[in-house]
Copies of this chain bind each other. A is one copy, B any other.
């Protein structure tokens, strides 16, 4: 479920002026942070490990982020944006006629994303949610908001499926989307534990088939 985190070659000379350019240090830190935290979580990872992975000199971290906690919030925002774009790409894909097939395509894409990293990386939101006992309290609302946004996109896809006659006309699509995300985070966690795709496939297939019977 993590974005491609291969680091572009570092350039000599002045750093690029656009702080959001893919090879700008701040962007490299975000990419490395998502890659490492989706695998290991927040508590177990030090700033040094992220700086090394990002190829950013030690000591310059605080030039870009006020604290490790501020860095974590920036990671949540970046991950949210990345994931919303992924959901929109599938849910708005007119080349897939049936809305439920768009949801299925998203789950396959997410599974392929986990497979690319050997099922070692989970979902940043699920990882941080599990760690809330030791994270700053303002992470909680931020993480819940992210899940609500993902659920809202998913509910819209389910309403399109309902309008298309794929699922029961009386279905509560907001509740179904919430159910999907509650369980899907469990499936990602289990896939990470088992190092394989079966939990993702089984959750997705059972969820989708339960909608159409």
Residues of chain A having any CB pair with chain B under 8 Å? 39-41, 43-44, 120-122, 126-127, 129-134, 140, 143-144, 147, 175-176, 178-179, 182-187, 189-190, 192-195, 199, 202-203, 206, 210, 213
Contacts and interface: CB of A to CB of B under 8 A. Distances in A.
B189 A130 contact: yes
A126 to B, nearest CB: 6
A112 to B, nearest CB: 19
Contacts of A189: 126, 129-130, 185-186, 189
Q: What number of copies of this chain does the assembly contain? A: 2
Nearest to A121: B133
Given A122-B130, A182-B183, A182-B203, A144 B193 contact: yes
Contact of A186 (B127, B132, B186): B186
Contacts of A126: 130, 186, 189
A75 B134 CA distance: 20
B193 A129 contact: yes
Contact of A183 (B39, B134, B203): B203
